[in-house]
């Protein structure tokens, strides 16, 4: 069955602005329907042996077997590629599926990776365990040093340079132009916190951009998705390896990812404005020793973020005087904000990274990158920021008075 539009005369309009493209992108096979169709089938019938052989040997055929490709997933990939200014994109069952598949596709035993120390905890665990066991060495650098990435590259051996900006959970900012100027190894940026509407690393010369689309892209806490985007030849190379691992995206999650993209611009407008207000309120509180948010003038990466990002994001983190005991007491007293480990959804979520997202790191590793017991990460939702501030400050004050 063809996935072309029902009416050949129906085509998706385009626009120059990312907010418009979020509405028009990824309408492969939608025809006149405003909502994308869901293709739940795992397999398709063929017209004979020649047709089967052609589809089995084709690159990313969407009407053969859903591990190879699926029309609904392909529509989501089209949308991400459009928003990132990429030739192609490839979706996975999770953000970690995207990380693992990319590393395993591009690196072999004896290869070398350069990565910043303050990466997402799951990525660090993969590099320190699975990749190391397979003979892939990783050198960790201090991303605040301007040429640290390029200086750590070993010509002829370094295969991949991995960065994350803004970083999780400390909101560090990486200079995308410097990263994109590195020649030799592939460069990849985890841009989950920014989303495709916040920044486009490929425009700075970076080879691959990665998202845990579970977060802000899908945006409703009801999809588990990862995605990478870049040049078509590189994406096809990664697909040829990843299809054997089987960490493919579900068409149901891809559908929810497309739905999230449609409202992404409107959600970001509210959430980023609210994050700025909340960050400023927390920075003024006597019991908050530091607030990490690129929108604050006090943030060391503020000017760089302003130059390469369209907005400062929906996530911030702060340090609470009193450490883990006070953090635990605050979490017990919150009424509106919800303790949970994810981010990017409509509800404001608070996380203690040392006991959740970064729990796989030993205490010395966490301390080395600043993920200490006093650190709290806040994913700002769609509530009124005044209510979030009242809840956070109220819980903080009540915890101190106990």
Q: Residue 311: its pLDDT value, please?
A: 97
Residue 5 lies in a domain: no
pTM above 0.85, yes or no: yes
The answer to whether 190 is a known catalytic residue is: yes
CA angle 76, 268, 19 (to 5 degrees): 55
The answer to whether 120 is a known catalytic residue is: yes
Q: Residue 14: its pLDDT value, please?
A: 58
Cis ω on the peptide bond leading into residue 189 (within 30° of 0)? no
pLDDT band at 365 (very low <50, low <70, confident <90, very high): confident
148 with 106, same domain: the answer is yes
* Phi, psi dihedrals of residue 317, rounded to the nearest 5°: -135, 160
Greater confidence (200 vs 371) lies with 200
Residue 95 lies in a domain: yes
322 with 292, same domain: the answer is yes
Q: Which helix (H) or strand (E) holds 229?
A: strand 226-230
pLDDT band at 392 (very low <50, low <70, confident <90, very high): very high
How many CA within 13 A on the CB side of residue 225? 36
Q: Which of 61, 65, 67, 68 is the catalytic position?
A: 67
Write the DSSP symbol of residue 128. I
Q: Residue 9: its pLDDT value, please?
A: 33
Q: Which of 28, 111, 120, 175 is the catalytic position?
A: 120
CATH number at residue 115: 3.40.640.10
Q: Residue 293: its pLDDT value, please?
A: 98
Pairing of strands 158-164, 186-190: parallel
Alpha carbon separation from 248 to 98, 105, 229, 365, 380 (Å, rounded): 9, 15, 15, 32, 29
Per-position DSSP letters for 63-101, written without gaps between them: SSBTTT--HHHHHHHHHHHHHHT-SEEEEESSHHHHHHH
Q: What is the number of domains present in the chain? A: 2
Q: Residue 3: its pLDDT value, please?
A: 35
Rg (C-alpha) for the chain, rounded Å, is 22
Residue 69 lies in a domain: yes
113 with 198, same domain: the answer is yes
Unique residue bearing structure tokens 């908050």: 288
302 with 213, same domain: the answer is no
Domain ranges, residue 118: 18-260
Domain termination residue (choose one: 205, 240, 260)? 260
Q: Which helix (H) or strand (E) holds 254?
A: helix 251-283
pLDDT in tens, 58-115: 999 999 999 999 999 999 999 999 999 999 999 999 999 999 999 999 999 999 999 9
Q: Which of 78, 82, 111, 190 is the catalytic position?
A: 190
* pLDDT at residue 182 greater than cutoff 90: yes
* pLDDT at residue 124 greater than cutoff 60: yes
42 with 104, same domain: the answer is yes
* pLDDT at residue 5 greater than cutoff 80: no
User: What is the C-alpha separation between 96 and 183, in angstroms, rounded?
Assistant: 26
Residue 207 lies in a domain: yes
Residue 215 and residue 192 in contact, taking contact as beta carbons nearer than 8 Å: yes
* pLDDT at residue 190 greater than cutoff 90: yes
Residues in a beta bridge with 138: 113
Can you tell me the mean pLDDT for 262-275? 98
Domain termination residue (choose one: 205, 234, 260)? 260
Q: Which of 21, 55, 215, 366 is the catalytic position?
A: 215
pLDDT band at 37 (very low <50, low <70, confident <90, very high): very high
Residue 317 and residue 358 in contact, taking contact as beta carbons nearer than 8 Å: no
Q: Residue 6: its pLDDT value, please?
A: 30
Dig out the tokens for 242 from the structure: 């990843």
pLDDT in tens, 157-181: 999 999 999 999 999 999 999 999 9
216 with 284, same domain: the answer is no
Query: What is the percent of the chain with per-residue pLDDT over 90, rounded to a whole number?
Result: 90
275 with 211, same domain: the answer is no
Q: Considering the chain, what is the average pLDDT of its residues?
A: 94
254 with 371, same domain: the answer is no
24 with 136, same domain: the answer is yes
CATH number at residue 329: 3.90.1150.10
Dig out the tokens for 370 from the structure: 């600043």
Can you tell me the mean pLDDT for 290-300? 98
pLDDT in tens, 128-163: 999 999 999 999 999 999 999 999 999 999 999 999
In this structure, how many other beta carbons lie within 10 angstroms of the beta carbon of residue 346? 15
Spell out the residues 6+ positions from residue 259 whose beta carbon is closer than 8 angstroms to its own.
218, 220
* Phi, psi dihedrals of residue 210, rounded to the nearest 5°: -125, 145
Q: Residue 357: its pLDDT value, please?
A: 73
CA end-to-end span of the chain, whole Å? 66
Residue 294 and residue 173 in contact, taking contact as beta carbons nearer than 8 Å: yes
The answer to whether 55 is a known catalytic residue is: no
C-alpha dihedral sign at 269, 272, 276, 282 = positive
Can you tell me the mean pLDDT for 222-247? 97
The answer to whether 215 is a known catalytic residue is: yes
Cα 19 to chain centroid distance, Å, stands at 18
Domain termination residue (choose one: 212, 230, 260)? 260
Residue 148 lies in a domain: yes
* pLDDT at residue 11 greater than cutoff 70: no
106 with 211, same domain: the answer is yes
């Amino acid at each position: 069955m063809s996935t072309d539009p029902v009416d050949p005369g129906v085509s998706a309009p385009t626009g120059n602005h990312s907010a418009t493209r979020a509405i028009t992108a990824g309408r492969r096979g939608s025809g006149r329907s405003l909502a994308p169709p869901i293709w739940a089938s795992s397999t398709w019938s063929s017209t004979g042996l020649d047709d089967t052989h052609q589809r089995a040997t084709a690159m990313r055929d969407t009407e053969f077997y859903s591990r190879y490709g699926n029309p609904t997933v392909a529509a989501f990939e089209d949308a991400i590629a459009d928003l990132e200014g990429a030739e192609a994109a490839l979706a996975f069952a999770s953000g970690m599926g995207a990380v693992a598949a990319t590393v395993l596709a591009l690196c072999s035993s004896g290869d070398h990776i350069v990565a910043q120390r303050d990466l997402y905890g799951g990525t660090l665990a993969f590099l320190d365990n699975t990749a190391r066991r397979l003979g892939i060495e990783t050198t960790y650098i201090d991303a605040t040093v301007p040429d640290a990435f390029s200086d750590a590259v070993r010509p002829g051996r370094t295969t991949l340079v991995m960065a994350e900006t803004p970083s999780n959970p400390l909101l560090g900012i990486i200079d995308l132009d410097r990263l994109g100027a590195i020649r030799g190894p592939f460069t990849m940026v985890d841009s989950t916190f920014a989303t495709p509407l916040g920044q486009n690393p490929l425009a700075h010369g970076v080879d691959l951009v990665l998202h845990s689309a579970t977060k802000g892209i899908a945006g409703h806490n009801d999809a588990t998705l990862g995605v990478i985007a870049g040049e078509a030849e590189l994406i096809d190379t990664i697909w040829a390896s990843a299809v054997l691992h089987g960490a493919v995206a579900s068409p149901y999650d891809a559908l929810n990812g497309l739905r999230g993209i449609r409202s992404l611009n409107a959600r970001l407008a509210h959430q980023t404005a609210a994050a700025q207000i909340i960050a400023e309120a927390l920075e003024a509180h006597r019991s908050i020793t530091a607030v990490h948010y690129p929108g604050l003038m006090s943030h060391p990466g503020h000017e760089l973020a302003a130059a390469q990002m369209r907005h400062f994001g929906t996530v911030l983190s702060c340090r609470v005087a009193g450490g883990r005991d006070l953090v635990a007491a605050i979490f017990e007293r919150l009424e509106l904000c919800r303790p949970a480990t994810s981010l990017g959804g409509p509800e404001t979520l608070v996380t203690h990274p040392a006991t959740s997202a970064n729990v796989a790191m030993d205490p010395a590793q966490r301390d080395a990158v600043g993920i200490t017991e006093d650190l709290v990460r806040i994913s700002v939702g769609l509530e009124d920021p005044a209510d979030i501030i009242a809840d956070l400050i109220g819980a903080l004050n009540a915890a101190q008075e106990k």
